[in-house]
Structure 1
């Protein structure tokens, strides 16, 4: 997650708002970015959402400048957006996301588009199928995840390396941490693996933002709030990757130096031990020989 990714979402929302119009319909403010995804069917509500979803995938996964991003976690945010947009209007069967899967993801070829640079996934459909657990999430949960995601994106887009004041970030940061704490305090869902996965993604990207801000000393006047580590799910996948790849890299180097030093020292110690063992043998040999001669003489006398 960074301001490049968030800008993709903000460009989408500028042209396709995340709220219904006065007639309770989805509306494009500007349909030009979505025309190539519409297939003459963007008059329908789901057609608009489908065009918005394909727009996000193509903008993010075809942008070579984003090749080093964790695109699996980005799919999480696309699913949060998709689920939230679908939750604004329910179909008669009240299975909006399932219906979308049947109609557009499984029912058309657009999501079978080949992708590169994402290990173990060959198409948009593969990526979406990995996140199908959103189908089982309540709309209230989706709404809260979406609010947290938007706050996080606002933080990233507000970030300015030349800004030495925390004032522009503190309000949004406090709002995000408050919303995150609400989500992590939901005892009815906190033990659900899919729920914890989304919390992991949010907490990891917020911690990355804090680190980015600290690295550039953007908050000299005050410190931004941090997430209580007790509120981050145990064995958080993204969190583990972040720690091992970034925070622990110096310690890994130190450990490697220690191991190499040990291997280098072993031959030296073995050489010293061998030398002293020979020296001891040389000292013991004459004494041992003299004792043997004495014993032989005694036997001859007797």
Structure 2
């Protein structure tokens, strides 16, 4: 995880709000969705599920399009695919969707027979397409959507910390508030036997823990008046989780090294201009 990844998800949250309206329906921003995610073709996004699938595909395309996206970087191994699945699981879990009761149903309906997911990933030997990446890592077929969605609040809190410190580098208050929220949610997961007994979900916990600890170093680097991370709450981990986090570089089936310089990919969907506008608005407030 890093600031570039969280900027992309922040814009995804703008277009695909993660709460339902008073009528119990999604509050998607259809005009933006049609132009950015659906190739300006309404036929590609007739239903809410069509729109969710379009967003899922765009995320895979931004992060995994070519060899540069897979380039190993010594500073950061971001488990982007895990976070895409967490986002997808949470959005799907907000309301009942016809024919979709688990991630396998979504896979069968939207990925297995969708030519877009067979688009080639250039310059990468291990994966020939997005579908090949998904299939080889078993993201959809082995994970329970209801359990995965429980990690969403922790993931969003962590991303909010990155976005907050990026937008206000002289004030740490909001970051510390988000850190407390993150730790509270994390420790709930850590005490949940049903999650900890399954190594797949333990790996997600380990990823969140690693990214939280990495953020504290990033915080000291970016916050102009912040040189002490002692104010951040410490996470108490189980012995099994501590062992798992140490083994992650070798065993983690989801870990995909991502090159930090992915910011240029925003331009694929007009994200770069939106970031610039947001930055300018904050600068002149």
Into which bin does the TM-score normalised by the smaller protein fall? 0.7 to 0.9
Unpaired runs of at least 5, structure 2? 251-285
**Aligned twin of 1:137:** 144
Contact kept? 1:158, 1:168, Cα under 8 Å: yes
Contact kept? 2:70, 2:124, Cα under 8 Å: no
Alignment of 1:1-302 (within 5 A): 1-29=1-29, 30-31=32-33, 32-36=35-39, 40-62=43-65, 67-68=71-72, 73-91=79-97, 95-116=101-122, 120-129=126-135, 130-132=137-139, 136-137=143-144, 139=146, 141-160=147-166, 163-216=169-222, 219-220=226-227, 223-230=231-238, 232-236=241-245, 240=249
Could you give the per-residue CA deviations for residues 38-76 of structure 1, whole angstroms, max 9, x where no partner exists? 671312121011111112122223485885566771000
Q: 1: CA distance between counterparts of 2:141 and 2:150?
A: 13
Q: 2: CA distance between counterparts of 1:78 and 1:142?
A: 11
Unpaired runs of at least 5, structure 1? 242-302
Contact kept? 1:204, 1:238, Cα under 8 Å: no
TM-score (ref. length: structure 1): 0.69
User: Taking CA–CA contacts closer than 8 Å with sequence separation of 6 or more, which of the two structures ends up with the larger relative contact order?
Assistant: 2
**Secondary structure in 2 matching 1:17:** coil
Q: CA deviation at 1:124?
A: 1.1
Could you give the per-residue CA deviations for residues 232-283 of structure 1, whole angstroms, max 9, x where no partner exists? 4423267547xxxxxxxxxxxxxxxxxxxxxxxxxxxxxxxxxxxxxxxxxx
Q: 2: CA distance between counterparts of 1:238 and 1:37?
A: 45
Q: 2: CA distance between counterparts of 1:167 and 1:114?
A: 44
Contact kept? 2:103, 2:143, Cα under 8 Å: no
Q: 1: CA distance between counterparts of 2:26 and 2:245?
A: 36
Q: CA deviation at 1:168?
A: 2.6
Of the structure 1 ranges 168-177 and 114-123, higher mean CA displacement relative to structure 2 is found in 114-123
Q: Which protein shows a greater Rg?
A: 1
Contact kept? 1:6, 1:156, Cα under 8 Å: yes
TM-score (ref. length: structure 2): 0.72
| Number of residue pairs the alignment of both structures matches | 240
Contact kept? 1:34, 1:55, Cα under 8 Å: yes
Could you give the per-residue CA deviations for residues 132-177 of structure 1, whole angstroms, max 9, x where no partner exists? 36754252x3332011110010011112498354323110001101
Contact kept? 1:67, 1:117, Cα under 8 Å: no
Distance 1:18 1:157, change over 3 A: same
Q: 1: CA distance between counterparts of 2:204 and 2:69?
A: 25
Q: 2: CA distance between counterparts of 1:52 and 1:185?
A: 32
| Cα root mean square deviation, aligned | 3.0
Q: CA deviation at 1:87?
A: 1.3
Q: Which has the higher helix share?
A: 1
